[in-house]
Structure 1
Amino acid sequence: MTDGAPPRARSARLCTLARCVALAVALAGCAGTGPGTAPRPSPAPRTTSPQELCTRLVTHWAHRLLADADGGYGDYQSMGLSNGQYEILRTVLDAGRAEERINGAVSAKELIGHQIARSCTERYRGGGPTGGPWQ
């Protein structure tokens, strides 16, 4: 099924055809942006509130340290916590360990979950921490 054209001419036609296909594909990507067509808005980035971030961080470390018999990891900065968040962690860990001795691990996790949520909400009620720069 040859068209009788020399090989160089067939090669040129194939190259032209390939360019046309590539151009059509490229233009198809722009098809929805003409007049009368509203562009799709990009999704808004999701932000994490200070209360939610505090709750997540302190909960992570509380569960990790509650499970660790030694109870040590490092200083609050190596955990990614502020001084105030670390104070919340220490307070709930003390309560969680006492609860664990009396009523078991499940009860301790429930207790620290409630205390962390309450403390972080209270701490960031006004939108930001109060006190010094690392508080």
Structure 2
Amino acid sequence: MTSDEDLCAKLVGHWARQVLNGRAYGDYQSMGLSGGQYDILREVVDSARAAERQGAADLGQSIDREAREGCAEWYRAGGPGKGPWG
């Protein structure tokens, strides 16, 4: 079974790649993300774009690592909130 953290990291990693390839960006709900996951996505994308400008060769590993770290931190801090945007 996939843990909530793992699912979060997979979703964020998938959408980060889509955004960086110019294939998606929009409302977090249309991506199937919570507000917290969308915040992580924006951080991952911003970091990947900065790394790309600096000539990083393999953004995939960086995206996966940052998505995992962001999701782990988010769940350590309580994960999805009780409100609709958690």
| Pairwise same-fold verdict (TM > 0.5) | yes
Match of 2:47 among 74, 95, 102: 95
Cα pair distance change 1:95/1:128, threshold 3 Å: closer
Q: Aligned AA for 2:30?
A: S
Question: Per-residue displacement from partner, 1:67-106 (whole Å, max 9, x unpaired)?
Answer: 22xx753200000000000000001100100101112351
For 1:1-135, what aligned pairs fall within 5 Å after superposition? 47-68=1-22, 72-106=24-58, 108-125=59-76, 128-130=79-81, 132-135=83-86
Task: Give the greater-gyration-radius structure (CA).
Answer: 1
Question: TM (normalized to structure 2)?
Answer: 0.84
% same residue: 51
Contact 2:12 2:41 in 1 (8 A): yes
Contact 1:50 1:127 in 2 (8 A): no
Count of equivalent residues:
86
Q: What is the identity, as a one-letter code, of the residue corresponding to 2:15?
A: W
> SS of 1:103's equivalent?
coil
**Structure 2: segments with no counterpart, 5+ residues:** none
Larger relative contact order (Cα-Cα within 8 Å, sequence gap ≥ 6): 2
